[in-house]
Structure 1
Amino acid sequence: MAKIKLDEELVKYAVYGGAILGGGGGGWIEDGLQIGRLATEIGEPELYTVDELKDKDLVVTVSLVGAPAAKDKFVKPIHYARALEILTEKIAKPIQGIITNENGAGTTVNGWFQSAVTGIPVIDIPCNGRAHPTGSMGSMNLSEQSDYVSHQAAAGGKGTNYLEMSISGSLDKASTMIRQASIEAGGLLAVARNPVTIGYAKQHGAAGAIQQAIEVGKALLSYQGEAALDAVVTKLGGKVVAEGTVTDHTLETTGGFDVGTVTINDTYEMTFWNEYMTLERNGERYGTFPDLIMTFDAKTAKPIVSAAIEKGQQIAVIAIPKENLILSSTMRNEKLMKPVEDIIKKSILQYSY
């Protein structure tokens, strides 16, 4: 179908499927369910496929920027709407579609509330079909357009931490300022940014990735326990790599990101930079970003994001080759991948390219 009315059942599938495709990042399941359900209660958000728009039509990206584990984070639905309002006033041009920056528990449904409030449809062409740490990775290779002016708006925070802002400049500078602002706001901001034509988005975005998230979520929720996990890896063409006890877990929120490691049975080690970056055992690599690495409760098969991992948990880990995901052109840009190595202190490029 070219147009889909988004309802509460699709919210559930999208959030759980998004949590899996988030690969450890992309927000919290509870937050995604809350804002997704609210969107369907207050309005009638719709999901359009890309062929419903003309190539010259303008779309804007909505996202969450910050560290999911930040203790003082505070983003509510009004902040999502406010960020879009600020950006719309800034660019003074009609917007024909809203796109999310990535798949994730909170981000797959990001845009649904804004659509319900404004009547602007959600377009199924996320900037990326999986979650990713940096703003540039979610900007459809606009970083390679030397003359592109990035317009970004943000809102969030509580009390004296409340912040709203608008900034224009190079993509790198604007994204850095928004990331810094998220720290000042308590750890997280709702953001609207980077107007582009749908024609440009078709060349660089991840068309159909929201539908993929919905299908993955339906596969998960149609079964229970081990059968649910089997359904997911069958759907995505991956495998369960490890299962056992979390014997070590480190997490540091720094620079607006969650960074750390997870060790299972003192054998398997994962690194994460918001999202899981590597999975290895005794030096053998089983998955490397942008491959999808994701953790689940070993008994219930509920997805567990990296910021929610705790020592002593019984978890299962899946790995899905990047070739089986719907990804942005940024996931093939080696320049954007290099910072990952600097953060996690492990090789990425030799495994990914």
Structure 2
Amino acid sequence: MRELRQQDVEDITTGASFMGAGGGGDPYVGKLMAKVAIAKGQPVKLISVDDVDPDAIYAPVACMGAPSVMTEKFPKGDEFQRVLNAVAERRHQKIGGIFPIEAGGVNSMIPLVLSAQTGIPVVDVDSMGRAFPELQMTTLHLAGVTVSPMAITDEKGNLGLLETVTDKWAELLARDMTVELGATAVVSLFSTTGKMLQQVGVHGILTKCQRLGQVVRQHSRGRQWQLEQIHQLTGSFHLFDGKVVDVSQTTAGGFNHGQITVEGLKDFAGHQLVIDYQNENLIAKLDDRVVTSVPDLICLADIDSLTPFTAEDIRYGKRLSVFGLPCDPQWRTTKGLVTVGPRYFGYDFDYVPVEQLVTEGR
């Protein structure tokens, strides 16, 4: 167990924004909430997933909805305890710890906020190893853990409890509720045993994000050093450098949908990269050839500092470096690809690992 301080929060936020693959919410909002909560509350205790009680119950708390809306309608602060208490009451069991459902600028921070408010420890694990747009897209779902009981609330105090026959039904019903609640909501779901977290959780995600944040913070050591460190931490491939020349985005059905077009710079001059996203980046095409697709990660960062960008941060003229990262191996299984592969999102091609696509393109 270790306690997280203000600088740790800064670094985790940066790294989680990188690992969020363009989604997971505005990192500034998440960082601000966590730092204020720690200043007002208790120290945040981070424990390794190896040290959890196998028989105790652990649960994530997260924001759901369109990330762009969260910049204007962010949580009031009491929602996190409300949904966690609702799940505990429905299960008739005490929650032994909390964990982020995904890596992302907001959703990696919410467990830290809740821990500072309540003293409940945070487990260094998540259920995606990145961020995905729909709530059933977790390694817990792949292992047969159910969403239910799921609690959903908003800043006004509205509270709902869902018991659904499938995880996809929970996504559909909760998404409609989120839209009615103003396109964002707070949820708790996929409560499970410590043993299950040990078996199928993505271990050490917050520590990994913290180390990535430390690398980005040390930009004075040079871009090449940063690139080498990021590669060692994530297995990343540097796909592209360029300037954003077009961005389109709509908000519909509780999601951000859009496309980013980047014209090449430096070694990539004369080439074009196009990225599609639904909250998170889905596919990247270099001159009409797919170079990365879900479930692998497409991560965007400032071309000079390598500070990560979420998809809704992207504006005309921004200069980007684009990275492809291998996903957690659980997503490369048959059930994983049915759940989050390119065909699920409507693309007419099969998944090919980023490392194979990069090798074939050379």
- Asked if these proteins are the same fold (TM beyond 0.5), I'd say yes
Asked if structure 1 preserves the Cα contact closer than 8 Å seen for 2:148 and 2:190, the reply is: yes
Q: Do residues 164 (structure 1) and 169 (structure 2) align? A: no
Indicate the residue corresponding to 1:75 in structure 2.
75
The Cα of 1:66 is off from its aligned counterpart by 0.7
How far off is 1:201 after superposition? 1.6
Deviation at 1:52, TM superposition (A): 2.0
Matched with 2:359 is none
Partner residue of 2:349?
A: 347
Partner of 2:209: 213
C-alpha contact 2:326 2:353 (8 A) present in aligned 1: no
1:183 aligns with 2:179: yes
Q: Supply the distance in 1 between the matched residues of 2:247 and 2:350 (Cα, whole angstroms).
A: 21
What does residue 268 of structure 2 align with? none
2:312 maps to which of 297, 307, 325:
307
**Pairwise mapping of residues 118-137 of structure 1 onto structure 2 (< 5 A)?**
118-137=118-137
Is 1:335 aligned to residue 330 of structure 2?
no
Alpha-carbon distance in structure 1 between the residues aligned to 2:17 and 2:306: 12
Q: 1:310 to 1:344 in 2, by over 3 A?
A: farther
Q: Specify the alignment match of 1:58 in structure 2.
A: 57
C-alpha displacement at 1:282, in angstroms?
2.0
Give the aligned residue type for 1:243: D
Amino acid at match of 1:125: V
Per-residue CA distance 1:114-133 (angstroms, 9 max, x = gap): 11222221111211211111
What letter is aligned with 1:61?
Answer: P
- In 2, the alpha carbon distance for the partners of 1:205 and 1:181 equals 28
Question: Which whole-Å CA distance do the structure 2 matches of 1:331 and 1:84 have between them?
Answer: 31
Q: Distance in 2 between matches of 1:21 and 1:198?
A: 24
Letter in 2 for 1:120: I
Give distance in 1, aligned partners of 2:232 and 2:101. Answer: 26
Cα distance in 2, alignment partners of residues 66 and 156 from structure 1: 11
Summarize deviations over 1:4-39 as a string: whole Å, max 9, x none: 111111101110000000010111111121122123
Change (3 A) 1:144 1:54: closer
What SS is found at the alignment partner of 2:79?
Answer: helix
| Residues 32, 105 of structure 1: 8 Å contact kept | yes
What displacement does 1:149 show?
6.6
- Deviation track 1:241-299 (CA, whole Å, cap 9, x = no partner) reads 21221111111212211111111117111111111111121232222222221112223
Alignment of 1:29-178 (within 5 A): 29-41=27-39, 42-70=41-69, 73-138=73-138, 140-141=140-141, 144=144, 148=146, 150-157=148-155, 163-170=158-165, 171-178=167-174
Native 8 Å contact 1:129 1:328 kept in 2: no
Question: Which residue of structure 1 lines up, in the alignment, with residue 303 of structure 2?
Answer: 298
Contact 2:296 2:353 in 1 (8 A): no
Task: Work out the CA distance in 2 between the residues paired with 1:13 and 1:59.
Answer: 25
Classify 1:144/1:204 alpha carbon distance in 2 versus 1 (closer, same or farther; 3 Å). same
TM-score (norm 2): 0.86
- The residue identity in structure 2 corresponding to 1:207 is H
Structure 2 unpaired stretches of 5+? 264-270, 357-362
**What per-residue deviation string (whole Å, max 9, x for no partner) do you get for residues 137-190 of structure 1?**
125126746xx57111122245xxx63222122322223222211111111111
Structure 2 counterpart of 1:226:
223
3-state DSSP of counterpart to 1:220: helix
Partner SS state of residue 140, structure 2: coil
Change (3 A) 1:228 1:108: farther
Offset of residue 226 of structure 1 = 3.3
CA distance in 2, matches of 1:204, 1:193: 16
What displacement does 1:302 show? Answer: 2.0
Distance 1:110 1:98 in 2: 10
AA partner of residue 299 (structure 1)? D
Note the C-alpha offset of 1:45: 1.5
Match of 2:189 in 1: 193
Contact in 2 for aligned 1:87/1:153 (Cα 8 Å): yes
Q: SS of the residue aligned with 1:335? A: helix
Secondary structure at the aligned position of 1:246 is classed as strand
Distance in structure 2 (CA, Å) of the matches to 1:111 and 1:123: 9
Question: Equivalent residue for 1:247?
Answer: 245
What is the DSSP-based 3-state SS (H/G/I as helix, E as strand, rest coil) of the residue aligned with 2:36? Answer: helix
SS in 1 for 2:219: coil
Please give the secondary structure, in 2, of the residue aligned with 1:105: coil
Q: How big is each residue's C-alpha offset from its partner over 1:222-247, in whole Å with a ceiling of 9 and x where there is no partner?
A: 22473575243453232332122111
CA–CA distance in structure 1, aligned partners of residues 295 and 103 of structure 2: 13
Change (3 A) 1:228 1:301: farther
Counterpart of 1:345, as a letter, is Y
Percent sequence identity over matched residues?
Answer: 23
Q: Is the 8 A contact 1:48 1:121 kept in 2?
A: yes
Contact 1:233 1:318 in 2 (8 A): no
Which shifted more, 170-179 or 186-195? 170-179
Residue type at the aligned position of 2:285: E
Gaps of 5+ in 1: none
Give the AA of the match of 1:182: T
